[in-house]
Amino acid sequence: MLVEERPGTPVPEAAPDALRPPPGNPRFPLVDGLRAVAALTVLVGHTSFMSGFNGNSVFGPVVSRFDLGVALFFVISGFLLYRPFVAARLERRPAPRVLRYARRRVLRIVPAYWLALTCLAIWPCLRGDIFGHWYIYYFFLQNLSLQYIQGGITATWSLCVEVQFYILLPFYALGVARLLRGRAPLVQVRLELAALALLGVASLTLRTLTFRDPAPDTVSNTIAGTFLWFTFGMVMAVLSARWHAAGPAARPAVLRALDRRPSVAWAVGLVLLLAVSSIGLPTTAPQFYSVSGWFWEHILYGLIAAAFCLPCMLALPDARSVPHRLLAWRPVAWLGLVSYGIFLWHHPLTEKFVHVQDWVSQGSFILYTLVVAVTATACAAASYYLVERPLLRYKDPRPRPPRSAAQADRVQAPSTP
């Protein structure tokens, strides 16, 4: 029997299978709406570029930076996927089983992607020889070569990075657990924050050193060149695991300030967005970067994404705050439920429907964006309800039905000759 799904609920058992945390872990309901924000900013970033809005509007420089939705997705993944591992370590209980973790990731990511890739390769016809090089596109390898990265669903280069993170994460978590075993929780937190800072700086350094003017090289499209964004989410996972269950008075002063004024984090994010839009980064030809622009954009995108995530991941719930009121709104939470499908389906549709701009002389960008968004959301909803949801019921092992009293008696009764 299907249970009514409630995206945006804080109750883990009432959340949809697609959004339910591993057993024994808390829910962060505002992250549902945050997924919707990430997907829609990526979508608007693509339609604004395709329509020429970036170069013909006073708001173009700001909207051209909406590709930071990718950073938002990476921060969310770093937080949600790492938190169960670090919480288990700090609470001295068994870590999540790797095979169960892998099953959850495969069922969450693969069916929807394979469906979208197959359908979109047939219509509206994707770039590249999808079926001739099927192993490249179906097994998340397109970001490893510039020859293939523009083929298939072009936006899914970032999904390939996510898959690399999924593979890396259990090894990192188990390694850190072994190195920090037996230390006090606060010592573990301090050492791990330092380690994540070093890894983030190393990733940023590698990304900058391997940059090739005017176009980036392969490293920037892999986990090695983007790990900084994941570390922002992993840092928040460590802080959340340490202080989520602590009483308000026991939380550090910074977290208490965030609890009182969660909207300040969003205000900081908006200021940083205006800053990154004002430092001369490319808008109409995004492939042409200077080394300094490449460096600062990556840092600022990560900081902006982290600022928007802070109230959702570290602040105590406050129904009166702007982040809570916006992200907990049921339409936004539902869009978060199907946001993965919106991300998968929207990019090929931006090219298919680019002629929509010609229907009217004014407001063509808005109409064009709405057509792409509505169509992508419809495809995402169909994918979710017809394919993803039935499969996601198997993310976690089903509990065995309790034995009846008669069965128990038969098991316990001694056998007679």
- Better pLDDT: 375 or 415: 375
Per-residue pLDDT band at 180 (split at 50, 70, 90): very high
How far apart, in whole angstroms, are the C-alpha atoms of residue 68 and residue 297? 9
What's the whole-number mean pLDDT along residues 251-277? Answer: 97
Per-residue pLDDT band at 3 (split at 50, 70, 90): low
Contacts 24+ apart (CB under 8 A), 389-393: 389/16, 389/17, 389/18, 391/107, 391/111, 392/16, 392/17, 392/18, 392/107, 392/108, 393/17
Contacts of 308 (CB under 8 A, 6+ apart): 34, 37, 72, 265, 266, 269
What are the CA-CA distances from residue 411 to residues 404, 406, 407, 408 (Å)?
11, 9, 6, 5
Asked if pLDDT for residue 39 goes beyond 60, the answer is yes
- Give the residue among 345, 342, 387, 378 at the shortest CA–CA distance from 152: 345
Q: Which residues lie across from 152 on neighbouring strands?
A: 127
- Amino acid at position 235, single letter: V
Structure tokens at 310: 């802070």
Q: 53-57, 96-100, 385-389: which has the minimum mean pLDDT?
A: 53-57
What's the whole-number mean pLDDT along residues 361-368? Answer: 82
Per-residue pLDDT band at 288 (split at 50, 70, 90): confident
- Better pLDDT: 266 or 397: 266
Is 336 exposed, middle or buried, given 0-12, 13-18 or 19+ CB atoms closer than 10 A?
A: buried
